[in-house]
A and B are shown apart, each in its own frame.
Chain A
Amino acid sequence: MTEVDIKASKDWQMHQAVPLLDEIMTISPELNLQAVTAIENIVDDIPSFWLDKKQLIKLMHVLRHELYKPFDFCFDITAIDESEKQHKSPLAKVFTVSYHLRSYQRNQDIRIKVALSTSKSSSDNLNASSLDSVCSFWPNANWYEREVWDMFGIVFDNHPYLTRILMPNTWQGHPLLKTHPARATEMDPFTLPPYQQDIEQKALQFNPEAWGMKRQSKDSDFMFLNLGPNHPSVHGAFRIVLQMEGEEIVDCVPDIGYHHRGAEKMGERQSWHSYIPYTDRIDYLGGVMNNFPYVMAVEKLAGIQVPDRAKVIRIMTSEMFRILSHLLFYGTFAQDIGALSPIFYMFIDREKLFGIIEAFTGARMHPSWFRIGGVAQDLPKGWDTLVRDYVNYLPKRLDEYEKMVMQNAILKQRTVGIGAYSSQEAIEWGVTGPGLRATGYSWDMRKQRPYSGYDQFDFEVPLGHNGDCYDRCRVRVEEMRQSIRIIEQCLNNMPEGPYKAEHPQTTPPMKDRTMKDIDTLIPHFLNVSWGPVIPAGEVSVSVEATKGIMAYHLISDGSTMSYRTRIRTPSFAHLQMLPLISKGQMVADLIATLGSVDYVMADVDR
C-alpha cells in the first residue's frame, strides 16, 4: 500500500536555467520585448512580455523555428478589452491580444501580449486595428483568431478565412466588448419575424466556394452532406459539412457555436463565488473537474493556501468524474461503432458512482462543490465504505468490458488504424489529454506539472502507439484503472483537518467566530453579501481535465467580479483537427473518429 504524504507535496514551479528573454535576445537582438509591469500582478510565473505588433511575426518565428527546443504548442490566443480597466498596465492600449504558447520539450510556457489601439473606420464604430495572423506557425491558431475576431472585432491580416465562429453569421457587434450588453434586459425584446427567419436560414446554408471547395471533380459532382447540428452521432449540437464522393469524404468543414452560451461574458458579471456553478456546465461531463482550475486560479490570485484534506478530497472527486466521463465515452464510442449494449452496463456503473457523488455533494452531474479555499462540505459519515465498495467493484466490470468491447474483432476492424495522427500533428494542432497520449507522447499535467498534491500519488500515464481511434479508447480505459488507483490512495490516506482554508476570502468564509468578534463578522458579512474582493492581477491555471488540458485565465481588476474570464477548453482544439484526420475516410469512419475524440459541445462553445 502506498503512503501518500500530502504535506510533502509541492506544486510544480517553472524552472528557468537561462532566462527565456536572454535566449530570445541572443537569437534576435532587435526584438523589443518589454517585461510586464508590477501593476498587472501576474501571479502564475509564466514569463510574460509586451511586444509591439510590428515585431509579432519576427518573434513568433524565433519562438517557433529558431529557438533551441521551440515553442511547438499554441496553447491559447485570446484578447482583453482594456477600456474599463482600473489597474491597467501603462503599456496597454484599448485591446490586448494575449498569446499563450508552450514548449513541451522545455516544459515551459510563455505569454506574449500585444497592445492594440482603435482606428476610426468608415462608419462611426470604433474598430480595433489589425495585427498579423500566426496561423502559419501553428495551424490551430486559426480558430483562436477567428474567435478573437468574433468576440472583439480584432482583425488578423493574412488569416485564411476570418469569419464568425461562435456567433451566428448574422450577428451584429462583438459580444466580449465591454460596451456590448451582457443581459437580455439591456437589449430590445427578441423577435424573429418571418423575413428575419429567412435571412437566418440563408446564412446557415453552406457555401463551398467560400471555403475554397469545388462542387465537381473531373468526372463527378460532389455531394455536400450536412451532418448535424442534430445527428445521433455528433454528441450534441455540432455541425460538420462533408464534401463527399460516394461514401468517401473529400473534405469537411466543422461548424461550431450551436451550444454557445457566453460563459466568458457571464464571468464578467458574476461574483467570484457565484461563477462556480457556471464552470460545472463547461464540460458538462466533468462535474467538479471544471471547478478545479477555476478555484485554483482564484486561490492563486487571493493567495489562499488550501488545507491538505481539501486537496485530497478535490483529487478524489475529480478522479471520480474522470471515471464518469470516460465511462460515458466508452459506452458511446461502442455505440457509435454499432454495439448497442455496453452503454447500458456502463450507465449502471455511472449510476452507482453518481450515488456516491450525491452522498458527498447532494448533486449528481453538476455538484458545483469546490469552493474558493476548499470544498463546500466535509465528507459524509461512512464515505469510505461507499468508495471502497466502488473501488472493488469497478475493475471487475472493466474486465468484462474488455472482452465485450476492446477485444471484439469487428470493433477492432472498425477502429484500428482509423483516424490516426502522429504526435507531431497532435502537438501542432493543440491536441491534449488522452488524444495526445494515444500517439505515444507522454504528457500528463498531473505528472509533468503536478498541482494540488498529485505529485504524492502513485499512478501511471497510459500511452497508445498509433494515435488511432482504438488507441484513444484504450488510453481512456487504462486511465480509468489509474483513477481507481488514485481514489484508493485517497481513501487510505485521507488527512484529517479542515476542509476549507481559514482565510477571509474563502466563500462562504468560516463561520465559527463570526458571532464572537466584529473583525470576523464584518468581512463575513461583506464576503457573503457582495462576494469576496480578489486583488487585481492575472493568472492562468490549467488542469488535466477529462478530455485534455483545461485552463482558466482570470484577470481581476480588484473587484467582486472578474474583469476577464477566459476558458481554454480541450475539445475546442480537438474539433479543429477533424478535417485533417477525416480526409479520405468513409462516413462510418468519421463517426468512429468523432466518437473517439470524446468532445462535449458545451466544452467547445462555452
Chain B
Amino acid sequence: MMPEMLWKLLEITIIIALLIPMAAMLVWVERRVIGIWQDRHGPNRVGPFGILQSLADLLKILGKEDWIPPFSDRLVFILAPIIGAICVLMSFAVVPFSPDIGVSDLNIGLLFFLAMASLAVYSVVLAGWASNSKYALLGGMRAAAQTVSYEVFMGLSVMGVVLLTGTFNLREIVLAQSEGWLIQSQFVGFFIFLVAGIAESHRLPFDLPEAETELTAGFHTEYSGLKFALFFLGEYLGVTLISAMSVVLFFGGWLMPEPLSAWLPPLVWFIIKIMCFVMFFILLRTSLPRPRFDQLLKFGWMVMLPLALLNLIVTALLRLTGVL
C-alpha cells in the first residue's frame, strides 16, 4: 500500500512540477507568437529566442512588494487568487495524459472537471468583491454572470460524449475513441464546448471580466506581485486545461490512427494535440474583437443553449435508432 501511495504522490508532484513551468512557458509562447503574427518581434532578449523571458518575469514578480490595498477585505483578497489556481490544478487530477500517466481514474471524472470549473469562478468574483474598487467589482459581476450562463451549456455540450461512450470516466472516454474520434459525430458539441471553454478561461473574445479597454484590468485591477502572478498562472493553466479536455473528449486523447501512433509515444501525441489547441486560443486572441456584455449573455442563452440541447436530443435519437 505505502509504495503505491508514494508513487502516486511522486506522480502528482511531477505533473505539477511540469504543468506550472509549462504555463509559464505558455506566456512566453503567446507573447512571441502574437508578436510574430502582429509583425513585431515579441520578447526575444532573455536567453535564446527570449525563451527565458518568463523566468525573468517571475524573478521580477518575486521581487515586488506584496501589497494589499488598505481598503480591501484582506483575507478574501489573499484567498481569491489561490482558489483560482487550486481549482484548475485540481482539474488536472482527472486528465488522462497517456495510457499509464494520470493522477486519478475517477469514475465521475467529467463531473469533477465541471465542478472545479464552476468553483473557479469564486476566485474571480471574490477578487472583484474583496478589492473594494469599482472597476474590480464590475469585472467580478461580469465574471459571475458570464460563468453562470456559459457553464450551463458547457455541461450540456459534453453530455453527447457521455451518451455515446456510456461513461463519465475520462480514461474510458479516451479508450472508447480507439475506433474513431468523437469529433466525427460530436462536432456541434465540440464547438459549443470550445466556446464555453474560452468563456470559462476569460480569453478574448470572452475576456469581459478583465476587458482592459473598459475596466482597466477588471477583477484583478488591484492585484500586483505574486498574487497577480497566481491569476496569470490560473489563466494559462485554464487554457491548457480546456485544450486538454477538448483533446480528451473529442480528439481521442493520446490515441492516434495506426501508422502515426507508432511514430511517437502517446504522451507526446497528447501534448502535440494540446499545443494545437493552445495555438488556436492564441490566434483567436489576436484576431477577434470583444462583444458587449449583454450581447455575450444573449449569445449564450439564445444561441448556444438551444444548440446544446438540440445536439443532445439529436445524439440521443441517433443513438436510439442505432445510427451511432
Contacts and interface: CB of A to CB of B under 8 A. Distances in A.
Interface of A: 223, 225-226, 231-233, 247, 334-341, 344-345, 348, 404, 408, 410-411, 413-414, 586-589, 591
B40 A337 contact: no
B289 A410 contact: yes
A334 B134 CA distance: 25
B214 A414 contact: no
28 contacts: A225-B135, A231-B216, A247-B138, A337-B290, A338-B204, A338-B213, A338-B289, A338-B290, A339-B288, A339-B289, A339-B290, A340-B34, A340-B204, A340-B285, A344-B39, A345-B39, A410-B205, A410-B290, A410-B291, A411-B289, A413-B291, A413-B292, A414-B290, A414-B292, A586-B292, A587-B138, A587-B215, A588-B293
Nearest to A335: B213
A337 B38 contact: no
Nearest to B290: A338
B289 A591 contact: no
Contacts of A345: 38-39
Contacts of B39: 344-345, 348
A232 B292 contact: no
Interface in B119-151: 134-135, 138
A414 B289 contact: yes
Given A344-B38, A345-B38, A336 B293 contact: no
A345 B207 CA distance: 23
Interface in B38-73: 38-40
A341 B37 CA distance: 8
Given A344-B39, A413-B295, A588 B214 contact: yes
Nearest to B35: A344
Interface core residue of A247, A340, A589 (most chain B CB under 10 Å): A340
A586 B39 CA distance: 33
Contacts of B291: 410, 413-414
Contacts of A233: 213-214
A336 B213 contact: yes
Interface in B14-41: 34, 37-40
A344 B285 CA distance: 14
Interface in B204-246: 204-205, 207, 211-216
Contacts of B285: 340
B294 interface: yes
Contacts of A335: 213
A344 B207 CA distance: 20
B288 A338 contact: yes
Nearest to B135: A225
Contacts of A334: 289
Nearest to A412: B289
A87 to B, nearest CB: 52
Contacts of A588: 211, 214, 290, 292-293
B286 interface: yes
A334 B213 CA distance: 11
Interface core residue of B39, B207, B211, B289 (most chain A CB under 10 Å): B289
Contacts of B107: none
A161 B286 CA distance: 45
Interface string B262-287: 00000000000000000000000111
A37 B231 CA distance: 71
B40 A344 contact: yes
A411 B295 CA distance: 12
A404 B289 CA distance: 10
B220 to A, nearest CB: 14
A247 B213 CA distance: 15
A591 B214 contact: yes
B166 to A, nearest CB: 38
Nearest to B294: A586
Contacts of A225: 134-135
B131 to A, nearest CB: 14
A529 B286 CA distance: 55
B293 A586 contact: yes
B207 to A, nearest CB: 8
B119 to A, nearest CB: 25
Interface core residue of B138, B204, B288 (most chain A CB under 10 Å): B288
A586 B214 CA distance: 10
Contacts of B295: 413-414
A72 B130 CA distance: 52
Given A232-B216, A338-B211, A586-B294, 11 more contacts: A225-B134, A339-B288, A339-B290, A408-B288, A410-B288, A413-B292, A413-B295, A414-B289, A414-B291, A588-B290, A591-B214
Contacts of A337: 213, 289-290
A589 B211 CA distance: 13
A232 B212 contact: yes
> Which 3 residue pairs of A and B lie closest in terms of their CB atoms, listed nearest first?
A338-B290, A339-B289, A344-B38
A590 to B, nearest CB: 8
Nearest to A404: B287
Nearest to B208: A588
B213 A591 contact: yes
A231 B135 CA distance: 11
A113 to B, nearest CB: 45
Contacts of B214: 233, 587-588, 591
Contacts of B293: 247, 586, 588
